[in-house]
Amino acid sequence: MKNKVSIVKVDEFGIEAATRKAIDLAGGLKKIITPSSRVLIKPNLCHPEPSGMGHITDCRVTEAVTKIVQELGPKSVVIGEGSAAGYDWGGSHSTEEAFRVSGTADVAHKLGVELRNLNTDEFEIVTVKNPYVMDKVRIAKTALESDVIIDIPVFKTHGRCLITLSLKNMKGVLPGAEKRKTHRLGLDKAIADLNSVVKVGFVVVDALTGMQGLQEYPKDRVELGLILAGADRVAVDTVGTWLMGFDPTQIMHLQYFAEREGVKANLSQVEVVGESLEENRQSFSSSLETFKKRFPELSLFEGMSACTGCYGELLGTLTAIKAHSDGNALNELTIVMGNPEAGDVKFTDRTLLLGKCPAKLANLGGTHIKGCPPMCDDIIRAICGMSGVDADIVIELRNQARQQGWKETRRLLEQ
């Protein structure tokens, strides 16, 4: 049987009515929430931002979901989140400030619901069976002890894994700097491992306003006016990915998790109800596409199999070289990912082939970096080596910036 995912437009009856309709069309919450249920409502509040800008879950959607949950009379309801710990882009953020600035704190006060900072929550070390990259992971006890988690992601792209929806949103249950571990080990595979041990009961996607590209406000903001809902994470993220204009096969954390679950992240496995999928499809710009426009000196050849693993590591590489050198290392650089046709690529001594997909072209010239995906540091060393730039200095300065982000995380956790 196909999993239902609803798409509902917000009309003159407002956000709460649209949220109720979306939940009902997707099967509702009555079967999963009982009088004994301890419910965790998990929005995306990765950093302090007013609702409505597209970066974070709009507090009006959180309020609507919380009201609907409360009406079912569960044992307890908590709104919980652990804001970003910072890695390559941006610093660490105070969860309490994110609650306040987003308006979520006012919602919690109005509805008499507890707010909980999952960055400072007690945690348990959980063993991941048959892991891709994380055999053990620290998870906030609130998430583990909840009978039902309602996942409320916001609709946007992401620099390292192309999109962030319900699966990526679960990183908020990792306390503090445990989030950084997922980047170090490989974000897509780590997200799949995390979601295998954190069980979500239902997803409601805030697609009122989305963010694309490099998420600069207001130029990267996309108005959609939609609410999505569904009980199955793979189905919801598959529909959301497609609505952004991307191919679900490109989203590696989605594919890895689906494989673990023994299902397919494919629209053929989903029953879409409510609004038309085709009529609401957008054409979001990825972070890498936006970067390419800002690096005209760089040529990128992408085959059909190019995925978020290589995209993420390349984006981290470009960011580090741009920030910690004079940037000349990127001049006239050609990068090949996926499986492009040999005739499409111009091979020079400054051609770089990333990962196993283009390995078959390595005999035609250029430098091949092994791995699936290749690691950021290896790519940095290859590009710097072609350009006479000291890669050790670039990596050391990048690491210092990351360490500063970790110190900020500790400061916020100690407040």
For residue 413, pLDDT beyond 60: no
- Per-residue confidence (pLDDT) for residue 88, from 0 to 100: 47
Q: What average pLDDT does this structure show over 313-325?
A: 85
- Per-residue confidence (pLDDT) for residue 405, from 0 to 100: 61
- Per-residue confidence (pLDDT) for residue 87, from 0 to 100: 46
For residue 140, pLDDT beyond 80: yes
3-274 fold: Rossmann fold (3.40.50)
Percent of the chain with pLDDT over 90: 65
- Per-residue confidence (pLDDT) for residue 51, from 0 to 100: 94
Q: How many CA atoms lie within 13 Å of 166's alpha carbon, on the beta-carbon side? A: 31
The amino acid sitting at 116 is R
Residue 228 — pLDDT band, cuts 50, 70, 90? very high
Residue with the bigger pLDDT between 117 and 406: it is 117
Residue 410 — pLDDT band, cuts 50, 70, 90? low
Can you give the residue ranges of every domain in the chain?
Answer: 3-274, 295-406
The amino acid sitting at 158 is H
Q: What average pLDDT does this structure show over 34-52?
A: 95
Other C-beta atoms within 10 Å of 228: how many?
29
Is 107 in a helix, a strand, or coil?
helix
Q: What angle do CA 9, 42, 15 make, to 5 degrees?
A: 25
Q: 226: exposed, middle or buried (C-beta count within 10 Å: 0-12, 13-18, 19+)? A: buried
66-125 pLDDT tens trace: 999 999 999 999 999 998 765 444 455 789 999 999 999 999 999 999 999 999 999 999
- Per-residue confidence (pLDDT) for residue 10, from 0 to 100: 98
Residue 375 — pLDDT band, cuts 50, 70, 90? confident
239-282 pLDDT tens trace: 999 999 999 998 999 999 999 999 999 999 999 999 999 999 99
Mean pLDDT of the chain: 90
